[in-house]
Structures are given as structure tokens and as C-alpha cells.
Amino acid sequence: MPVLLETESGFTLFGETGLEIRKSVRIIPKNYRSVTGIIASKKSSDEARYESSLERDLLTSLEFNAQVKSYTVQPIMLEWIDDSGQKRTYTPDVFIEYKGAAEKPKLVEVKYREDLKKNWAELKPKLKQAKKFAKEQGWIFKILTENEIRNDFNENARFLLGYRYPIPEIELITTLDDELQKLKYTTPKQLLATISQDQWEQAQYQRWSHMFEQLKAYL
């Protein structure tokens, strides 16, 4: 099992072989052929970056999976010498740690089924090394495709993510700032009252927050 140890830079997650797996090993570059970005995360040990919509959907599901304790994107770079004597490297997509000991940590590669089929000859030795490494650590290595990731749970999670971290409209931000400048000292209740007397408008954020908590229980 991974071990959390205190180091000079803070707390760091190490595998059983002593290899650090807490931070992403490389920065995901901009990709103009697919979707790249960062999702708002409470579980990622580093920035929850993705370089495809499929990776984004997996990370979203992990955020709402009650059994997932934490995850790290591109956690480690594997290095080995192939049969021809060439140095090879491979970076798995995600490391997932679960709550309790019932489920082993997972090292995950995210791929579309079409890409797996098309690039299997190139991917096979990399995936083989990842499986070997995971076994040595006491983990499980999994290849996840759109068949495993894009399901009803993921659809619900993608819907709820937008309300988990609501983004105010620019007009609202401007109005709040203007009123704060006028009032100088105030309370949240007084501030809302000066902006609108409509209780419905005042209750929007609370309503969606409550809805999020209720729906999350049914995922």
C-alpha cells in the first residue's frame, strides 16, 4: 500500500518501493487536436489536468466516487530497456487510491477503443511494463475506455460538477463590488438585500448547493 511520509517539502506519497507518486511527473502540453484543461478538484494531489475529453470524464467520476480517497494525474514515469537495448519510457494517466483496504490502488491508462486497436503494437510493451510495475507495488493496472468511463454515473457527475463550484456571472460580480464600495461595512444579509429584494434571486446559490448535496447521495 502507498505510504504517506513527512519530507522537507511536506507530506509525500510513496509506493512500497520508495518511489514518489504524489505529484504529476510532467506538465500536460496544450493540445490543439483534443480537449485539454483542468477540473476543479477536492481529491487530486496535484492539478487535475486532462488532455482528452475521456480523461476529463474519468476525473469527474473520481470526484464523485465516494470510495475514492485521492488520485494523481500522470503520477510516475516508467523507464526500461527493451529487447533491442533501447531506453523506453511510459507515463500512465492516473493513480487512484481508495478508502479502506477493500480495494487496491489502481494505476490507470485511459484510451479510446479505436486508439487501442490502431496503436496496439506500439502500446503493448508500455502497458506490459505498467502492469508489471503495478503488481510489484501491490496495485492493479487497468485500461479504461469509453465503455467503462461513460456511463450513467459519469453523466450525473458531469451535470453536478457545474454546481459544485458555481461560477457567478460577471454582472453579479460587478454589482457586488459596486455595492461593497458604497456600503464599506456590511453583512452578507444586508448586502443581498441592497442588491435585490427578490428572495428567489437571493436563494439561488443556496438552492443549487442543497440540490448538489441531495443528488450526490443518489449517485
Which residues on adjacent β-strands are paired with residue 157?
none
DSSP state at residue 101:
S
Q: What percent of the chain has pLDDT over 90?
A: 44
Model pTM greater than 0.85? Answer: no
| Domain residue extents for the chain | 3-152, 166-217
SS (H, E, C) 183-206: HCCCCHHHHHHHHCCCHHHHCHHH
201-207 contacts at long range (C-beta below 8 A, 24 or more positions apart): 205/166
User: By the 8 A CB rule, do 90 and 78 touch?
Assistant: yes
Tell me, what's the pLDDT at 31?
A: 44
Query: Per CATH, the architecture of 3-152 is what?
Result: 3-Layer(aba) Sandwich (3.40)
pLDDT, tens only, 125-182: 999 999 999 999 999 999 999 999 999 999 988 887 766 665 555 565 566 667 767 8
User: By the 8 A CB rule, do 140 and 134 touch?
Assistant: yes
- The three-point CA angle 180-185-188 to 5° equals 70
Q: Which residue's C-alpha cell is 519510457?
A: 89
- The three-point CA angle 62-65-68 to 5° equals 75
Distance in angstroms (rounded) separating the CA atoms of residues 62 and 158: 11
Choose the weakest-confidence range: 15-19, 20-24, 103-107, 188-192: 15-19
Distance in angstroms (rounded) separating the CA atoms of residues 47 and 109: 18
